[in-house]
Amino acid sequence: MIDFLLKYNTNAPRYTSYPPANLFHAAESKEQVERVWRESNSLKPRNVSFYFHVPYCKKRCLFCGCTAELLPGNQDELVRYFNALFAEMDEKLPWIDASRPVTQVHFGGGTPSAVPYAYLEKILNKLRERFTFAPHAEIAIECNPSLIDEGRLRELARMGFNRISYGIQDFDPQVLKNVGRDPSLLPVKDLITLSRELNFTGINLDLIYGLPSQTEAAFYKSVELACEAHPDRIALFSYAHVPWIKKAQKTLERFPMPTPHEKLGYFLEARDMFKKAGFVDVGMDHFCDPKDSLAVALSEGLLHRNFQGYCTRATTGEVYAFGSSAISQLDNAYSQNVHESKKYVELQEAHQMTEIRCEVLSEEERVIRDAIERLMCNRKLKVSDAEKKVLSAGWERLCALEKENLLVKKSDSEVEATELGTLVIRYLAMQLDPLMQNVQREGVFSKTI
């Protein structure tokens, strides 16, 4: 099975957006961004999600592939970043129809829990002044557990946070030391119990397989400990080694790294272990408790996918994003702020456009985006005649995978991924993508496995 799957270990987008973010066009002007944001008010879904990017971390992990930087020693820099973010909110929030309900707020990074919480609270207060939050709105934060003790967790709960994600990566202290990361301050099981007592739900743990120096035995032990801790969700990421982009990863090359064959073996074994422990395989790298909202959405065909990974259609609205590198995900367009926090602050202070990219979608691109999303979330795809016409050669390419046992054709307009196909779902999705045909994907997109 491993050898069979490795045939499809090709470079492909993760399809958290369509078109993929690195292919977005340059933003033209502030007016263009304002126009697409304002237009999005009359599109679907009506509910609103917000994303805030906090790029800072107390310490840089050597393996990190995220848009993150060290917390500035100089407090002025931090004050300037948040003042720029507040100014961005003051400028752009009026573009969003305030009668639309807010169902989701997500703080990502970097490590949003690494900065003084007063900044996060001010962001939430600014939103509450202007918008009405739906009764069960999700307010989520990504945390590094080495910075979380009981007092800090209580403080987050008091501020209104009700969803939390912890980057565990690996439970083995030696592996963490090798990759330059501090372990969780509290035992992970206690951290989860405490989070539940404070009414957090959708509690997630991130794990990584294939980290430099991680042995097979150490990895399976981590999986076992994650199952014992029993969070609501587990994201099991494949270590992405991209030293040509993330220079610090080069220093990890002195440690042994598993081959793609071994890595796939790790993933398949971990997947079995999670399933035996009662978790549902939601898709790609996400596992969750059957009672979790993601598993319920999967069973009801209401799973959704965006830059935050898998999410539910019920709570995920059009996403309006603020801060350096943040990407807004609207029905009609994507827009992205400049990556470097310094540049972001300078542009905002000078009242200039902070966006580097603004991708306005054509009708055809919206059809392709929708088809890719449905396939990745439901593992099957039924298309109308009109959609088939737009997908054209892409639909033919997808159907041709029946010969390779990756999917079954249910009818002329419906396909369903096989068990093997679900394991390489990005490869299936890529068939629908006209941008990925006959182009250089190596060095641009990560491997599917």
Ligand X SMILES: C[S@@+](CC[C@H](N)C(=O)[O-])C[C@H]1O[C@@H](n2cnc3c(N)ncnc32)[C@H](O)[C@@H]1O
Q: Which residues bind ligand X (CB under 6 A)?
A: 57, 63-66, 108-109, 111, 142, 144, 167, 169, 206, 208, 237, 239-240
- The angle, 0 to 180 degrees and rounded to 10, between the axes of the packed helices 341-349 and 75-92 is 60
CA-wise closest residue to 399 among 439, 431, 443: 431
Residue 321, token pair as written in the block? 């994003």
Stretch that binds ligand SF4, among 2-10, 63-71, 187-195, 230-238 (CB under 6 A): 63-71
Residue 60, binding choice from ligand SF4, ligand X, none, Cβ under 5 to 8 Å by partner class: ligand SF4
Least CB distance from residue 410 to ligand SF4, whole Å? Answer: 41
Could you say whether residue 111 binds ligand SF4 (CB under 6 A)? yes
CA-wise closest residue to 169 among 256, 238, 233, 100: 238
- What whole-number distance in Å separates Cα of residue 350 and Cα of residue 344? 10
Least CB distance from residue 146 to ligand SF4, whole Å? Answer: 8
Q: By C-beta, is 109 or 231 nearer to ligand X? A: 109
Q: Report residue 322 CA to chain centroid gap.
A: 16
Residue 284: which residues within 8 A CB-CB, separation 6 or more?
A: 310, 376, 425, 426
Q: With contact defined as beta carbons under 8 Å apart, do 416 and 408 qualify?
A: yes
Q: By C-beta, is 109 or 183 nearer to ligand SF4? A: 109
Q: By C-beta, is 20 or 108 nearer to ligand X? A: 108
Pick from 19, 108, 109, 283 the residue near ligand SF4 by CB under 6 A: 109
Residue 268: which residues within 8 A CB-CB, separation 6 or more?
A: 1, 2, 423
Pick from 30, 35, 60, 382 the residue near ligand SF4 by CB under 6 A: 60
Stretch that binds ligand SF4, among 53-61, 79-87, 416-424, 425-433 (CB under 6 A): 53-61
Residue 338, token pair as written in the block? 């400049």
Q: By C-beta, is 142 or 373 nearer to ligand X? A: 142
Residue 428, binding choice from ligand X, ligand SF4, none, Cβ under 5 to 8 Å by partner class: none
Residue 161, token pair as written in the block? 């946070």
Q: By C-beta, is 66 or 277 nearer to ligand X? A: 66
- What whole-number distance in Å separates Cα of residue 187 and Cα of residue 300? 35
Could you say whether residue 110 binds ligand SF4 (CB under 6 A)? yes
Pick from 17, 103, 113, 144 the residue near ligand SF4 by CB under 6 A: 144
Least CB distance from residue 270 to ligand SF4, whole Å? Answer: 19
Residue sitting closest to ligand X (CB): 167
Least CB distance from residue 360 to ligand SF4, whole Å? Answer: 30
- What whole-number distance in Å separates Cα of residue 46 and Cα of residue 235? 28
Residue 99, judged by CB atoms within 10 A of its CB (0-12, 13-18, 19+), counts as: exposed
Q: By C-beta, is 155 or 206 nearer to ligand SF4? A: 206
Which positions from 156 through 185 interact with ligand SF4, judged by CB under 6 A?
167
Residue 192: which residues within 8 A CB-CB, separation 6 or more?
A: 203, 205, 229, 230, 231
Contact positions toward ligand SF4, by CB under 6 A?
A: 57, 60-61, 64, 66, 68, 109-111, 144, 167
